[in-house]
Amino acid sequence: MLPSSLTADGTRLRLLRAGLELFAARGYHGTSIRDIATAAGVQSATLYGHFASKEELLAELVVLGHEEHHRRLVDALMDAGSDPDDQLRALVSAHVASHATFPMLATVANAELARLSAAAAAPAHVLRAKSIDLLGTVIGRGVRQGVFAVDNMEITLTAIATMGISVAAWYPARAAELRIDVLCRSFGDLALRLVQMPSTSP
Amino acid sequence: MLPSSLTADGTRLRLLRAGLELFAARGYHGTSIRDIATAAGVQSATLYGHFASKEELLAELVVLGHEEHHRRLVDALMDAGSDPDDQLRALVSAHVASHATFPMLATVANAELARLSAAAAAPAHVLRAKSIDLLGTVIGRGVRQGVFAVDNMEITLTAIATMGISVAAWYPARAAELRIDVLCRSFGDLALRLVQMPSTSP
DNA sequence: GTCTATACACAGATAGAC
DNA sequence: GTCTATCTGTGTATAGAC
């Protein structure tokens, strides 16, 4: 539900978990401080012993989600070889796996980002830009090597990124039948279809 | 901003427009009755002369958005010929054009659907299922004719649908440089890449 | 750190005059 | 249809005891 990169324990962790679940289900403004506190098993005033405000609790979740996601992308790319196909597959797999593994965190990080002030949202926007840049770099390299062919880079990047984000919304209901590695392979196939040179196969 | 299929005028129309703008920007729970009334130039009590509740105003927008979208898909498919390529292009173009033309309505219809009660959301869910079915029918037919090849139909459908939905989020900022018909063509190309038989081109 | 108690603003919705 | 005025519940956040 929350990545192991999170260093929090006791009440603070329960508050983050409760906030995550409730924000994902009802949205930030649809969730009250009292809702979160009750779900965490404390009184509402206790929340302010751990977070300065409701917004700060959300900000922590949003930034954590973006950090975990970006870290996974970088790791995957580092583990991949130099082949553009492999690199794209690695990136898309990490992207999809991240959304399938932490669907609530991904939902909150994406959908409730707009509820943060500009200052609180800034770190997340930086990480988003870096993640998109990673994908653009891999595809651009494939294009220069002649193995990829892309008509509109911006639209292609958005398409690949968005495909993966949607996983957070529908995968949890399919988790019993569909393994994450199968899911990642399917999306890797789709992403390759989107960028590969049309008539390269002899 | 709102489709011409909407039959509303005067204060009622202004309330719908104000609700649409505010829900799109701040979300349903982030918008108050007073916000909407003020933006429409009336007092908050006046809203209840036109809608039974805040939720009913949202429901009207959500259903309208889904109706307009589905109608455009059906129209586009009816105008297309019998060629699977043309049919898919027509469907994806209508899908993308709908999101690029009414980005706020699409955003509210998608993002705030979850804020409606099950009863109020039901009509929208029916229309969503019908729209996905339309896409599945076209692609399934192409597969049976041997011009399309799809590994995982569910994932492919989701991918194509989601690609288009994201347009509502980013197209408004690009509207000055990127014409809608160019956008639709690009997404039609991408959708075809996702489903076409890999090595059909001689 | 967590509690009880509470301040104070604002939410959705209604009553009744015009 | 629209207004003014208001009811009542709930919102975020704080004060101060334990």
Over the stretch B92-140, which tens digit does the pLDDT of each residue have? 999 999 999 999 999 999 999 999 999 999 999 999 999 999 999 999 9
The answer to whether A190 contacts B115, with C-beta atoms less than 8 Å apart, is: no
Query: B166 touching A, CB under 8 A?
Result: yes
CA B44 vs CA B15, B32, B34, B36, B49: distances in Å = 10, 9, 5, 8, 10
Q: In chain B, which among 29-48 make CB contacts under 8 A with chain A?
A: 29-30
pLDDT at A164 over 90: yes
**Confidence grade of residue A198 (pLDDT, cut at 50, 70, 90):** confident
Q: Give the Cα separation of A11 and A65 in Å (integer).
A: 20
Q: Are B106 and B99 in contact (CB under 8 A)?
A: yes
Render pLDDT for A34-82 as a digit per residue (tens, 0 to 9).
999 999 999 999 999 999 999 999 999 999 999 999 999 999 999 999 9
Q: Give the Cα separation of A58 and A54 in Å (integer).
A: 7
Query: A129 touching B, CB under 8 A?
Result: no
Q: Are B63 and B121 in contact (CB under 8 A)?
A: no
Kindly state the average pLDDT of the residues A18-41. Answer: 98
Residue A68's pLDDT is 98
**In terms of Cα–Cα distance, which of B136, B138, B135 is closest to B95?**
B135
Q: How far B27 CA sits from the closest chain A CA (Å)?
A: 8
∠ CA B194-B164-B58, rounded to 5°: 150
Q: What is the dihedral of CA A108, A111, A116, A120, to 10 degrees?
A: 60
Q: Give the Cα separation of A148 and B156 in Å (integer).
A: 20
Contacts of A168 in chain B (CB under 8 A): none
Question: What one-character-per-residue DSSP string does B71-123 give?
Answer: HHHHHHHHHS-S-HHHHHHHHHHHHHHHHHHSHHHHHHHHHSGGGS-HHHHHH
pLDDT at B200 over 60: no
User: Any atom of strand C under 7 A from CB of B137?
Assistant: no
Query: B111 touching A, CB under 8 A?
Result: yes
Q: Where are the alpha helices (DSSP H) in B102-175?
A: 103-111, 118-144, 153-165, 167-174
The answer to whether B158 contacts A165, with C-beta atoms less than 8 Å apart, is: no
The residues, ordered by sequence, that sit 6+ positions from B30 with a Cβ below 8 Å of its Cβ are A28, A29, A115
**In terms of Cα–Cα distance, which of A194, A195, A191 is closest to A141?**
A195
**In terms of Cα–Cα distance, which of A153, A72, A159, A152 is closest to A109?**
A72
Query: A159 touching B, CB under 8 A?
Result: yes
Render pLDDT for B52-89 as a digit per residue (tens, 0 to 9).
999 999 999 999 999 999 999 999 999 999 999 999 99
Q: Give the Cα separation of A139 and A33 in Å (integer).
A: 44
Tell me the HSE value of A173 on the side-chain side, using a 13 A CA sphere: 5
Contacts of A159 in chain B (CB under 8 A): 163, 166, 187, 190
User: Considering only residues 35-64 of protein chain A, which place a Cβ less than 7 A from any atom of strand C?
Assistant: 37, 41-46, 49-50
Q: State chain B's mean pLDDT as an integer.
A: 97
What pTM was estimated for this model as a whole?
A: 0.97
Q: Are A129 and A62 in contact (CB under 8 A)?
A: no
Instruction: Show the tokens assigned to A58.
Output: 């959300």
pLDDT at B201 over 60: no
Q: Are B36 and B57 in contact (CB under 8 A)?
A: yes
Q: Give the Cα separation of A69 and A131 in Å (integer).
A: 9
